[in-house]
Structure 1
């Protein structure tokens, strides 16, 4: 490639924007010029499905351990530790998170859980969106848990129920969006929560929440909520989403890759429309965030675990 005719800062912005909007062009951009490679190679790992043995993960680990520290710091923004057997060595997961301070969206499965996750979360200054099973963190120390989640604004809990969830939500200073799911029984029907007033209690206690999002593969109305939503609070939003492993994480990745609309943005629009209406909002079973448009991502490992996440 010839010497640039544009200011370096502008040229860098152009190539980085191209890589961001059209990730499939990154391999071609890498061989354009050395400076272009330095700008665009981190974009290869902007969204990272971390699973040992896959080409993307192994290439990333090599780059992580051979390139200067600024490379991983500029690369990963979305990362999910995919379920696989054997389990991911805790030191490997911790190494990745410690060297990637630019992570904004983090999701993890049973392959990377426990106290080490809490240690890692406290070292992510840009973390805002978190998806995990809270019960898997193995922490009886509430102060430790709160300090690990203090930067999170959007929290998706993979557990179907947690007894002290309101106490935890009240202590998270930046949290504005919280999601949980309706579990399914063996026949595929939604299972009632142990506390039928849980959603109403969360919203009445946590006034700082802007959205309480409940996901379900099938409608719980008529069966569990025959008279409509369990509360008239307009911040309660239901969404059709696959709660199984493959479908759930495929949806997560589709949003990360820009293949589907952000479920939080869709939920916010529903809440805003309710609050700005001329008439008081009347809960209706039909007010849902619809199913995602993107197809499931290929190549997901299907874990043989008692709990899918």
Structure 2
């Protein structure tokens, strides 16, 4: 009789049933990985189930890394546990291959420049970066698809070079620069970005060149002015207000919004897309009122 046909003692059968997976391995892996994606906080617990589960989900624990520098309003959120300065050394002590293969979303806020650059160097496959170094050579080789940063310091004292490989894969770009030239000549290079579909500024002064940017960048799906404060919507030209791609967004919690987008895909970009879709469908329209100067107000 083959060994596999010999009836096992009850205790041995019970032990084997406890150890061996009951589901096909591929299905079991899918279940655990999806669970880790849906609820990143569960990853440390899932890793205790079995060695094979640890192998499947450990890298997902580091898919999104947020260094907040102690920003208020993040503690206690049911989101991926953000990192702080105390955990910096522990993070960098991880296997280089784990960071290289895992980290795709990285937010660096209020950290010393040398720490920022050390972490960026350890995570060469980041596709979504919020903040980061002020030196181009520190991030220039990253395969970025989304960038939220000030551009002028990266290229200073030279003008922004939009032909740089840094921009070659970008689909989403949020520009933090303030109190800089808002002349179209400084920003017309945005038109050469081959994959750019979503563009945002955080300074109302840039509204002056928004109509020109929309004309220069016909592939844009969203051009957003994203402000962190509540208040009366900005005054814009009639031409800009009539373009359905223009969106004024109020986002009081930039970091939290980025974090939720990295985890779930739902952020101010997706809300802007919904707004644009409703404008194009004729379901929503800016209400325009002229003041004495002939400018237009959006209530």
**Same fold per superposition (TM over 0.5):** yes
Contact 1:232-1:283 within 8 A present in 2 as well: no
Give the SS at the match of 1:107: strand
| In structure 1, C-alpha distance between the alignment counterparts of 2:237 and 2:190, rounded to whole Å | 28
| In structure 1, C-alpha distance between the alignment counterparts of 2:167 and 2:85, rounded to whole Å | 30
Change in 2 beyond 3 A, CA 1:202/1:44: same
Give the SS at the match of 2:164: helix
The residue number in structure 2 matching 1:250 is 256
Contact 2:197-2:221 within 8 A present in 1 as well: yes
Residue ranges of structure 1 left out of the alignment (5+ in a row): 183-191, 288-309
Residue ranges of structure 2 left out of the alignment (5+ in a row): 1-17, 70-82, 289-296
Change in 2 beyond 3 A, CA 1:241/1:196: closer
Shift of 1:227: 7.6
Q: Does 1:208 align with 2:219?
A: yes
The residue number in structure 2 matching 1:235 is 245
The residue number in structure 1 matching 2:127 is 104
List aligned pairs for 1:1-309, cutoff 5 A.
2-50=19-67, 54=85, 56-65=87-96, 69=97, 71-84=98-111, 86-89=112-115, 92-98=118-124, 101=125, 103-109=126-132, 112-121=133-142, 124=143, 127-138=144-155, 140=158, 146-160=164-178, 161-162=180-181, 163=183, 164-182=185-203, 193=205, 197-216=208-227, 217-221=229-233, 225=235, 230-242=240-252, 247-258=253-264, 261-277=266-282, 281-284=285-288
Shift of 1:271: 1.0
1:195-217 superposed Cα distances (whole Å, 9 cap, x missing partner):
66311111122111111010122
Give the SS at the match of 1:238: strand
Structure 2 length-normalised TM: 0.74
| In structure 1, C-alpha distance between the alignment counterparts of 2:298 and 2:27, rounded to whole Å | 48
Structure 1 length-normalised TM: 0.72
Contact 1:229-1:283 within 8 A present in 2 as well: no
Change in 2 beyond 3 A, CA 1:77/1:278: closer
The alignment's C-alpha RMSD in Å is 3.0
Shifted more, 46-55 versus 270-279: the winner is: 46-55
Shift of 1:94: 4.1
Shift of 1:254: 3.2
- Greater share of helix: 2
Contact 1:166-1:205 within 8 A present in 2 as well: no
The residue number in structure 1 matching 2:11 is none
Shift of 1:278: 7.8
Shift of 1:129: 1.4
Contact 1:90-1:116 within 8 A present in 2 as well: no
